[in-house]
Amino acid sequence: MIYFDNASTTSVRTEVRRVYGQMLETCYGNPDSLHAIGRQASTLMEKSRSNIASMLHVEPSEIIFTSAASESNTLAIVGYALANEHRGHHVLTSNVEHSSVRHAMEFLKRFGFEVEFLPINEEGIVTPECLKAHMRKDTILVSVMHVNNEMGAINPILELEKIVHQNPTCVYHVDCVQSFSKIDIPFDKLDMATISAHKIHGLKGSAILMKKKKIQLVPIIQGGQQEQGLRGGTENAPANIVLAKTIRLALEEQSSAYAHVSKINQYLREELSKIKGAHIHSPLSAIPYILNISFDQITSEVLLNALDQKGICVSAKSTCSSQNTNASEVLLAMHKSEFDATHGIRLSFSYENTLEEAKYFIETCKEIIENYGLSL
Amino acid sequence: MAYRYNHILIRYGELSLKGKNRNNFIKALYDNVRKALKAFPTLEFEKQHDRMYIYLHDEDSKQVSEILAKVFGISSFSLAIKVEPDLDQIIDACYESLDLTTPKTFKVAARRSDKLFPYISDEINRKVATKILKNSDWKVDVHNPDVKIVVEVHQDAAYIMTDRVQGAGGYPVGVGGKAMVLLSGGIDSPVACYLMMKRGVHIECIHYASPPYTSQNAQEKVMELARLVSGYQGDVLVHVVPFTDLQLAIYQNADESYAITLMRRMMMRIATGLAQKRHAQAIATGESIGQVASQTLESMLAINDVTNMPIIRPVVCMDKVEIIDLSKKIGTYETSILPYEDCCTIFTPKNPVTKPRVDKCEKYEGKWDFDKMVQDCIDNTEDIWVHPVKVEEDLF
pLDDT value of residue B16: 55
Is residue B269 pLDDT above 90, yes or no? yes
pLDDT value of residue B231: 84
Which B positions 334-363 lie with beta carbon below 8 A of chain A?
339, 341
pLDDT value of residue A319: 53
B234 and B194 share one domain = yes
- Which residue in B210, B213, B337 has the most chain A C-beta atoms within 10 A of its own C-beta, making it the best mutation to test that interface? B213
pLDDT value of residue B36: 85
Is residue B61 pLDDT above 70, yes or no? yes
B165 and B191 share one domain = no
Beta pairing partners, A172: A142
- Across the interface, whether the CB atoms of B214 and A305 are under 8 A apart is answered yes
Does the annotation list B246 as a binding residue? no
Check residues B187 and B39 and name the one with the higher pLDDT: B187
Interface membership of B23 toward A (CB under 8 Å): no
pLDDT value of residue B390: 65
Neighbours of B308 (CB within 10 A): 6
Cα–Cα distance for residue pair A287/A183, rounded to 1 Å = 8
A171 and A54 share one domain = yes
Does the annotation list B295 as a binding residue? yes
pLDDT value of residue B344: 53
DSSP single-letter state for residue A315: B
Element (H, E) at A294: strand A290-295
Is residue A322 pLDDT above 60, yes or no? no
Express as a percent the part of chain B with pLDDT over 90: 58
Residue A365: active-site member: no
Is residue B293 pLDDT above 80, yes or no? no
A122 and A241 share one domain = yes
Cβ burial of B94 (10 Å; 0-12, 13-18, 19+) is buried
Instruction: Tell me if B321 is assigned to some domain.
Output: yes
| Bridging pattern class, strands A139-143 and A90-94 | parallel
B379 and B308 share one domain = yes
Q: ipTM for the complex? A: 0.71
CB B278 within 8 A of CB B246: no
Is residue B389 pLDDT above 80, yes or no? no
Nearest CA in chain B to A369: B212
pLDDT value of residue B243: 94
Cα–Cα distance for residue pair A194/A345, rounded to 1 Å = 25
Cα–Cα distance for residue pair A181/A246, rounded to 1 Å = 10
Check residues A312 and B65 and name the one with the higher pLDDT: A312
A248 and A294 share one domain = no
**Which residues have a Cβ under 8 Å from the Cβ of B13 and sit 6 or more positions away?**
B72, B73, B74, B75, B167, B169, B170, B171
Catalytic residue chosen out of the listed positions A27, A130, A170, A320? A320
Does the annotation list B264 as a binding residue? yes
Does the annotation list B119 as a binding residue? no
Cα–Cα distance for residue pair A96/A152, rounded to 1 Å = 12
Return phi, psi of residue A336, to 5°: -80, 165
A265 and A247 share one domain = no
- Across the interface, whether the CB atoms of B215 and A323 are under 8 A apart is answered no
A211 and A303 share one domain = no
Residue after which a domain boundary falls, among B139, B169, B199: B169
Cα–Cα distance for residue pair B302/B255, rounded to 1 Å = 16
> Which chain A residues contact residue B248 at CB under 8 A?
372
* For range B199-208, the mean pLDDT: 96
- Across the interface, whether the CB atoms of B212 and A323 are under 8 A apart is answered no
Does the annotation list B183 as a binding residue? yes
Check residues B346 and A130 and name the one with the higher pLDDT: A130
> Which chain A residues contact residue B341 at CB under 8 A?
301
> Which chain A residues contact residue B215 at CB under 8 A?
301, 304-305, 308
Instruction: Tell me if B395 is assigned to some domain.
Output: no
Measured CA distances, B338 to A250, A308, A366, B187 (Å) = 38, 20, 31, 10
Instruction: Tell me if B17 is assigned to some domain.
Output: yes
Residue after which a domain boundary falls, among A201, A222, A252: A252
Q: Give the number of domains in chain B.
A: 2
Cα–Cα distance for residue pair B293/B381, rounded to 1 Å = 28
pLDDT value of residue B318: 95
- Looking at CA atoms only, how far is residue A298 from chain B in angstroms? 10
pLDDT in tens, A79-101: 999 999 999 999 999 999 999 99
Give the model's confidence band at A376: pLDDT under 50 very low, under 70 low, under 90 confident, else very high: confident
Cβ burial of A276 (10 Å; 0-12, 13-18, 19+) is exposed
Measured CA distances, B92 to B82, B127, B136, B141 (Å) = 12, 11, 14, 21
Nearest CA in chain B to A299: B213
- Across the interface, whether the CB atoms of A304 and B213 are under 8 A apart is answered no
B31 and B139 share one domain = yes
- Looking at CA atoms only, how far is residue B212 from chain A in angstroms? 5
Of the candidates B215, B248, B339, which has its C-beta nearest A305's C-beta?
B215
> Which chain B residues contact residue A304 at CB under 8 A?
212, 215
B314 and B345 share one domain = yes
Instruction: Tell me if B392 is assigned to some domain.
Output: no
Cα–Cα distance for residue pair B232/B388, rounded to 1 Å = 9
pLDDT value of residue B15: 58
- Three-class secondary structure assignment of chain B: CCCCCCEEEEEECHHHHCCCCHHHHHHHHHHHHHHHCCCCCCCEEEECCCEEEEECCCCCHHHHHHHHCCCCCEEEEEEEEEECCCHHHHHHHHHHHCCCCCCCEEEEEEEECCCCCCCCHHHHHHHHHHHHHHHCCCEECCCCCCEEEEEEECCCCEEEECCCEEEEECECCCCCCEEEEECCCCCHHHHHHHHHHHECCEEEEEEEECCCCCCHHHHHHHHHHHHHHHCCCCCEEEEEEECHHHHHHHHHHCCHHHHHHHHHHHHHHHHHHHHHHCCCCEEECCCCCCCCHHHCHHHHHHHHCCCCCCEECCCCCCCHHHHHHHHHHCCCHHHHCCCCCCHHHHCCCCCCCCCCCHHHHHHHHCCCCHHHHHHHHHHCCEEEEECCCCCCCCCC
Is residue B343 pLDDT above 60, yes or no? no
Task: Count interface pairs A-B at CB distance under 8 A.
Answer: 26
B105 and B13 share one domain = yes
Return phi, psi of residue B80, to 5°: -135, 155
Residue after which a domain boundary falls, among A183, A217, A252: A252
Cα–Cα distance for residue pair B208/B377, rounded to 1 Å = 9
Measured CA distances, A54 to A15, A40, A59, B287 (Å) = 21, 21, 7, 66
Express as a percent the part of chain B with pLDDT over 70: 94
Query: Domain containing A334 — which CATH number?
Result: 3.90.1150.10
pLDDT value of residue B97: 83
pLDDT value of residue B162: 83
DSSP single-letter state for residue A111: T
Instruction: Tell me if B220 is assigned to some domain.
Output: yes
- Across the interface, whether the CB atoms of A309 and B212 are under 8 A apart is answered yes
pLDDT in tens, A201-256: 999 999 999 999 999 999 999 987 899 999 999 999 999 999 999 999 999 999 99
B150 and B231 share one domain = no
B329 and B256 share one domain = yes
B160 and B185 share one domain = no
Instruction: Tell me if B1 is assigned to some domain.
Output: no
B88 and B207 share one domain = no
A126 and A149 share one domain = yes
Give the model's confidence band at B233: pLDDT under 50 very low, under 70 low, under 90 confident, else very high: confident
Does the annotation list B208 as a binding residue? yes
Residue after which a domain boundary falls, among A230, A252, A274: A252
A76 and A131 share one domain = yes
Which B positions 198-257 lie with beta carbon below 8 A of chain A?
211-216, 248
Residue after which a domain boundary falls, among B152, B169, B186: B169
A116 and A246 share one domain = yes
Nearest CA in chain A to B219: A305
A20 and A142 share one domain = yes
- Worst-scoring range by mean pLDDT, B12-16, B144-148, B278-282? B12-16
Tell me which residue range forms the domain holding A131: 14-252
B214: region left, alpha or beta (phi > 0 left; psi from -120 to 50 alpha):
beta
Tell me which residue range forms the domain holding B88: 7-169
pLDDT in tens, B157-182: 999 998 888 999 899 998 889 999 99
Q: Give the number of domains in chain A.
A: 2
Instruction: Tell me if B349 is assigned to some domain.
Output: yes
- Looking at CA atoms only, how far is residue B338 from chain A in angstroms? 10
Order of all β-strands in the sheet with B178-182: B311-312, B282-284, B178-182, B202-209, B236-242, B382-386
| Bridging pattern class, strands A171-175 and A207-211 | unpaired
**Which residues have a Cβ under 8 Å from the Cβ of B207 and sit 6 or more positions away?**
B182, B183, B184, B185, B219, B222, B238, B239, B240, B241
Is residue B19 pLDDT above 60, yes or no? yes
A278 and A232 share one domain = no
pLDDT in tens, B257-267: 899 999 999 99
Is residue B1 pLDDT above 50, yes or no? no
Please, what's the largest Cα pairwise distance for chain A? 71
pLDDT value of residue A117: 97
What sign for the dihedral angle of Cα B13, B16, B17, B18? Answer: positive
B163 and B203 share one domain = no
Is residue A53 pLDDT above 90, yes or no? yes
A60 and A111 share one domain = yes
A37 and A104 share one domain = yes
Query: Domain containing A242 — which CATH number?
Result: 3.40.640.10
* For range A14-35, the mean pLDDT: 94
B161 and B184 share one domain = no
* For range A150-166, the mean pLDDT: 97
- The average confidence (pLDDT) of chain A is 94
Nearest CA in chain B to A298: B213
pLDDT value of residue B294: 75
Instruction: Tell me if B157 is assigned to some domain.
Output: yes
Give the model's confidence band at B59: pLDDT under 50 very low, under 70 low, under 90 confident, else very high: confident
Give the model's confidence band at A177: pLDDT under 50 very low, under 70 low, under 90 confident, else very high: very high
